[in-house]
Amino acid sequence: MKGLGWHVIAELSGVDPKVLDDEQLLIKIMVEAAKKAGLTVLATKTHKFSPQGVSAVVIVSESHLFIHTWPEFGYAALDVFSCKDEESTWTAYNEIVKKLRPRGVQVIMIKRGMLQRQELPVPPLGQEGYQIEQLQR
Amino acid sequence: MKGLGWHVIAELSGVDPKVLDDEQLLIKIMVEAAKKAGLTVLATKTHKFSPQGVSAVVIVSESHLFIHTWPEFGYAALDVFSCKDEESTWTAYNEIVKKLRPRGVQVIMIKRGMLQRQELPVPPLGQEGYQIEQLQR
């Protein structure tokens, strides 16, 4: 069954805090990675936190690349989600990791849009308590 | 060990295609959900695909909410990532699901930034082949 997208979720640790606090550098790295992976950049948005930290998103026609950084911990949460193909998703991810040079990496890949989920009845409006399949790590 | 964030990743199926193709409605739903969860909205960005489909992101000071829709499949990929607390993350998620009324839901929650990952040596610049922990679903 073909999925609609590949979502790489990565935890990067031991990254240079100066890099993680550099809004312009981060968005440049993300955009270059997207292009290198053959993704089409549609829009970018960044936010610089005070006193430190950056959120940067690149919307590509194939989905998105997102990074949130905590320079104080040398940590970045990185998401690369592409509906182009699995290879390009990893290419974009690898390009970003090459630039950020984390000392530690933990990564998972989730196939999105497998469309094989359980069909549930539409809940009545305003009613809480959806029956969900919850898998907590 | 305290994480830095809670990341809810949801697959919504059986959603009204008209809703999934309505850029303004989707960003309104996302922003309202963020506010209801006590998150601080910093920026929004949407993209409408041709002939159909929407990508919409809300950057909040606590991280982000993202939706990508495929109206042709009645499917939406939803991400709610907040570093505020677990409860607010689920509140935002629930608000969005209440509005989108999917017939099927599959959801996982990933704790981000646990900072307990293996420390790896910094790879030489330009060298591929990072040693990663990869967990494919």
Angle, alpha carbons B78-B83-B85 (nearest 5°): 95
Q: B5-112 domain in CATH 3.60.90.10? A: yes
Q: A112: which chain B residues are within 8 Å (Cβ-Cβ)?
A: 11, 77
ipTM score over 0.95, yes or no:
no
Express each pLDDT in A49-97 by its tens digit: 999 999 999 999 989 999 999 999 999 999 999 999 999 999 999 999 9
List per-residue pLDDT tens for chain B, 137 residues long.
467 899 999 999 999 999 999 999 999 999 999 999 999 999 999 999 999 999 999 999 989 999 999 999 999 999 999 999 999 999 999 999 999 999 999 999 999 987 554 444 444 443 343 333 333 33
Q: Do A14 and B119 touch (CB under 8 A)?
A: yes
Does residue A6 contact residue A85 with C-beta atoms inside 8 Å? yes
pLDDT of res. B7: 94
pLDDT of res. B115: 58
Does residue B37 contact residue B95 with C-beta atoms inside 8 Å? yes
Question: Any chain A CB within 8 A of the CB of B63?
Answer: yes
pLDDT of res. B121: 41
Cross-chain CB nearest to B63 (options A13, A64, A68): A68
Q: How many CA atoms lie within 13 A of A126 on its CB side?
A: 0
CB contacts < 8 Å between A and B, how many? 192
Q: Give the residue from B106, B111, B127 with the most A CB atoms within 10 Å of its CB, the best one to mutate.
A: B106
Q: Where are the beta strands (DSSP E) in B38-119?
A: 41-48, 54-60, 63-70, 75-82, 104-112
Tokens found for residue B15: 């959603």
pLDDT of res. B4: 87
Distance of alpha carbon B26 from its chain centroid, rounded?
13
For residues B7 and B64, give the distance between their C-alpha atoms in angstroms, rounded to a whole number: 9
Assign A125 to helix, strand or coil: coil
